[in-house]
């Protein structure tokens, strides 16, 4: 199922927690320009590194843009941008980073028009 593609590490940090901040999630995944994130804190610092540790892109003090359960991180050159959103079918197939670092693929999303509830499915896959 997995193809031979470059791997990256997306490291998300909550800089306003505790004395010096707290790690939120670190996920290793195939290279991507877009990453969905579930249940992220109000502010994030993001670094994207190659498997060899080279810094590829980053975003500092990315503040919540709306009260949503998901956000989209988009890489534009060496910069990362944040948009909090309700996913749509256009987001199906995108990787999703969960708190702690597990990475899945968004398979399905539904939310009520009044934004009071939502249901979603991700697919998780691993190999050795």
**pLDDT, tens digit, for every residue of 56-96?**
999 999 999 999 999 999 999 999 999 999 999 999 999 99
The answer to whether 97 and 22 are in contact (CB under 8 A) is no
Distance (Å, rounded) from C-alpha 11 to C-alpha 49? 8
pLDDT band at 1; cut points 50, 70, 90? very low
> How do the domains of the chain map onto residue ranges?
7-123
Output the pLDDT for position 127. Answer: 80
Model pTM?
A: 0.93
- Percent of all residues in the chain with a pLDDT value above 90, rounded to a whole number: 90
Are 49 and 83 within 8 A, CB to CB?
no
**Percent of the chain surpassing pLDDT 70:** 97
What is the number of other CB atoms lying within 10 angstroms of the CB of residue 25?
22
């Amino acid at each position: 199922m997995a193809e031979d593609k470059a791997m990256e590490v997306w490291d998300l940090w909550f800089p306003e927690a505790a004395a010096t901040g707290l790690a939120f999630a670190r996920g290793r995944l195939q290279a991507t320009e877009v990453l969905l994130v579930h249940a992220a804190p109000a502010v994030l610092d993001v670094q994207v590194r190659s498997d060899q540790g080279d810094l590829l892109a980053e975003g500092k003090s990315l503040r919540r843009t709306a009260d949503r359960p998901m956000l989209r991180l988009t890489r534009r050159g060496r910069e990362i941008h944040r948009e909090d959103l309700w996913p749509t079918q256009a987001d199906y197939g995108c990787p999703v980073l969960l708190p702690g670092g597990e990475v899945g693929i968004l398979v399905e999303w539904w939310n009520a028009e009044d934004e009071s509830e939502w249901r979603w499915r991700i697919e998780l896959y691993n190999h050795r």
